[in-house]
């Protein structure tokens, strides 16, 4: 379902692909699809509206940089605007500190507390944790089991009713720990008593940092919940958990934009090592379901300088093995075709998946085979019949079947290219993408 969505965004982007000047109608359509993509990723609806307005205005007002297509121009603006919303990632000091963890019920606080202890421990710091959850059955067992596995001391008083006292005594007991992490019970914005409790825990612990743990799947609630926590204790970092599922984390993004504090870490699994530093680029790419945007923009720039091919000729249907050789050559310098295609929001138009699902090993193999062909054969593949196939196979140390497979692949590509003719995109641009990039 999400794939469908991101492909609709890709479709909208395709419409922009051939455009030389920014076209209001196309931009509006793109923005509409962008809105849907973001809403489906759980970005706050109000935020989406503000964002799409900004994208629209900037796309139409700003001149695309030289050599950059309209599509790339708009994409880049989308990317920049999202980046701005998200702020930079919050930094982590590698020194003595106390960190208080807070969040909704079941968001992953306890698991993350243990993961963080592990993180600091690996950085050579002496970590200790306090279980200040007096409510959830088994809370102490959970935390102490996790910490016990990595030899991190865990302070807790199962059965005790007041979290404040536990924190006080825990800090004293862990006096020799450099980094102290305080796990708290789950709570939400409407639970006034619990909000009051976290305010007191923050005061008592004199925590250096207060991190909010947010489940990647949290929906439109995220913004308001985050605001309440922020008002209560001043959140200065967010950790987005459960990013190993299929949720896109738009709720967390909305939270971060609301409280103006960066994301510190990403939780990506149930085990203690499943903690990753936050990377804004991959977060945005995932949000939009469109591959790695940052490297797209970078690579797109390099692309413009790569050798030109006989694009016009190809458009007339003249696509020879020689062209394919160049194509494979260009592609092999950039990594698997499939990956590149998925990076291109353009989606490579209607290239059949068999054409894309070629491994890099296979591509290298194809080039070796083509090295054994004559210039004539490369220019006019129709010449290649049974006996030539055998000669080429022998010359390249491959089997006739492999040569036939290559020819089949060539025809597939040729057909795909022909299919693009008369299409609604700018074919020249398309071809350059396809070959040189």
Ligand X SMILES: Nc1nc2c(ncn2[C@@H]2O[C@H](COP(=O)(O)OP(=O)(O)OP(=O)(O)O)[C@@H](O)[C@H]2O)c(=O)[nH]1
Interface ranges with Mg ion (CB under 5 A): 109-110
| Of 149 and 424, CB closest to other proteins | 149
The sign of the torsion formed by the CA atoms of 387, 392, 393, 395 equals positive
Binding string, 27-66, against other proteins, x = CB under 8 A?
Answer: ---------x--xxxx--xx--------------------
> 70-86 and 293-305 are packed helices; what angle lies between their axes, rounded to 10 degrees?
150
Among 72, 81, 133, 258, binds ligand X (CB under 6 A): 133
Span 258-317, contacts to other proteins by CB under 8 A: 270
Residue of 44, 76, 72 whose CA lies nearest to 258: 44
Binding of residue 128 to other proteins (CB under 8 A): no
Residues 348, 145: Cα–Cα separation, whole Å: 50
| Of 44 and 241, CB closest to Mg ion | 241
Binding of residue 177 to ligand X (CB under 6 A): no
Smallest distance from other proteins to CB 330, Å:
34
Provide CB contacts within 8 A for 173, sequence distance 6+. Answer: 155
Check if the beta carbon of residue 341 is closer than 8 Å to that of residue 348. yes
Q: How many residues bind ligand X (CB under 6 A)?
A: 21
Residues 100, 113: Cα–Cα separation, whole Å: 9
Residue of 218, 210, 263, 213 whose CA lies nearest to 241: 213
The sign of the torsion formed by the CA atoms of 132, 135, 141, 142 equals negative
Q: Please choose, out of 229-237, 250-258, 265-273, 303-311, the segment that lies near ligand X by the rule CB under 6 A.
A: 265-273
Residues 232, 189: Cα–Cα separation, whole Å: 10
Span 310-369, contacts to other proteins by CB under 8 A: none
Check if the beta carbon of residue 214 is closer than 8 Å to that of residue 240. yes
- What six digits make up the tokens of 22? 């920014």
| Of 110 and 396, CB closest to ligand X | 110
Span 197-226, contacts to other proteins by CB under 8 A: 215-222, 225
Provide CB contacts within 8 A for 269, sequence distance 6+. Answer: 244
Residue 190's binding partner among ligand X, Mg ion, other proteins, none (Cβ under 5 to 8 angstroms by kind) is other proteins
Task: Classify residue 91 by its DSSP letter.
Answer: P
Binding string, 89-118, against ligand X, x = CB under 6 A?
Answer: --------------x-xxxxxxx-------
Span 157-176, contacts to other proteins by CB under 8 A: none
Among 178, 197, 274, 402, binds ligand X (CB under 6 A): 274
Span 227-256, contacts to other proteins by CB under 8 A: 242, 244-248, 250-251
Residues 103, 263: Cα–Cα separation, whole Å: 14
| Of 36 and 294, CB closest to other proteins | 36
Residues 270, 275: Cα–Cα separation, whole Å: 9
- Helix or strand or coil: residue 312? helix
Radius of gyration of the chain (CA): 28
Residue 41's binding partner among other proteins, ligand X, Mg ion, none (Cβ under 5 to 8 angstroms by kind) is other proteins
Residue of 152, 83, 80, 87 whose CA lies nearest to 113: 152
Residue 274's binding partner among other proteins, ligand X, Mg ion, none (Cβ under 5 to 8 angstroms by kind) is ligand X
Residues 289, 91: Cα–Cα separation, whole Å: 26
Binding of residue 14 to other proteins (CB under 8 A): no
Give the nearest residue (CB) to ligand X: 186
Residue 45's binding partner among Mg ion, ligand X, other proteins, none (Cβ under 5 to 8 angstroms by kind) is other proteins
Check if the beta carbon of residue 126 is closer than 8 Å to that of residue 209. no
Taking the CB of residue 326, how many other CB atoms lie within 10 A of it? 17
Binding of residue 135 to other proteins (CB under 8 A): yes
Binding of residue 2 to other proteins (CB under 8 A): yes
| Of 111 and 435, CB closest to ligand X | 111
Among 87, 158, 269, 280, binds ligand X (CB under 6 A): 269
Binding of residue 145 to other proteins (CB under 8 A): yes
Binding of residue 158 to ligand X (CB under 6 A): no
H-helix or E-strand containing 211? strand 209-215
Smallest distance from other proteins to CB 201, Å:
18
Binding site residues, other proteins, CB under 8 A: 1-2, 5, 36, 39-42, 45-46, 104-108, 110, 135-143, 145-146, 188-190, 215-222, 225, 242, 244-248, 250-251, 270
């Amino acid at each position: 379902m999400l794939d469908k969505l991101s492909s609709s965004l890709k479709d909208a982007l395709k419409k922009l692909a051939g455009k030389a000047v920014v076209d209001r109608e196309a931009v509006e359509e793109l923005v509409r699809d962008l809105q849907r993509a973001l809403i489906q990723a759980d970005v706050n609806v109000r935020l989406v509206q503000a964002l799409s307005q900004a994208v629209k205005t900037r796309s139409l007002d700003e001149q695309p940089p030289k050599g950059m297509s309209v599509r790339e121009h708009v994409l880049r603006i989308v990317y920049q605007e999202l980046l701005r919303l998200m702020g930079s990632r919050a930094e982590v000091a590698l020194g003595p500190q106390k960190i208080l963890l807070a969040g909704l019920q079941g968001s992953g606080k306890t698991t993350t507390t243990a993961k963080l202890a592990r993180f600091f421990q690996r950085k050579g710091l002496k970590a200790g944790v306090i279980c200040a959850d007096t409510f959830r059955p088994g809370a102490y067992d959970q935390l102490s089991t996790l910490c016990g596995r990595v030899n991190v001391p865990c302070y807790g008083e199962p059965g005790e009713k007041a979290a404040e006292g536990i924190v006080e005594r825990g800090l004293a007991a862990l006096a020799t720990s450099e980094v102290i992490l305080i796990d708290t019970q789950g709570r939400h914005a409407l639970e006034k008593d619990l909000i009051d409790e976290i305010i007191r825990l923050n005061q008592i612990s004199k925590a250096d940092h207060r991190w909010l743990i947010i489940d990647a799947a949290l929906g439109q609630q995220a913004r308001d919940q985050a605001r309440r926590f922020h008002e209560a204790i001043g959140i200065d970092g967010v950790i987005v958990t459960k990013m190993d599922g299929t949720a896109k984390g738009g709720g967390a993004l909305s939270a971060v934009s609301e409280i103006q504090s960066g994301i510190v870490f990403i939780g990506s699994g149930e085990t203690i090592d499943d903690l990753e530093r936050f990377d804004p680029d991959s977060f945005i790419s995932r949000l939009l379901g469109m591959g790695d945007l940052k490297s797209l923009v970078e690579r797109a720039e390099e692309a413009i300088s790569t050798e030109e091919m006989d694009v016009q000729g190809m458009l007339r249907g003249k696509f020879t093995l020689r062209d394919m050789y160049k194509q494979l050559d260009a592609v092999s310098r950039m990594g698997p075709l499939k990956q590149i295609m998925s990076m291109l929001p353009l989606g490579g138009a209607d290239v059949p998946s068999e054409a894309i699902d070629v491994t890099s090993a296979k591509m290298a193999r194809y080039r070796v085979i083509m090295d054994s062909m004559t210039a004539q054969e490369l220019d006019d593949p129709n010449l290649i019949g049974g006996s030539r196939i055998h000669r080429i196979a022998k010359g390249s140390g491959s089997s006739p079947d492999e040569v036939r497979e290559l020819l089949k692949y060539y025809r597939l590509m040729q057909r795909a290219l022909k299919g693009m003719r008369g299409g609604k995109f700018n074919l020249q641009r398309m071809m350059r993408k396809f070959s040189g990039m």
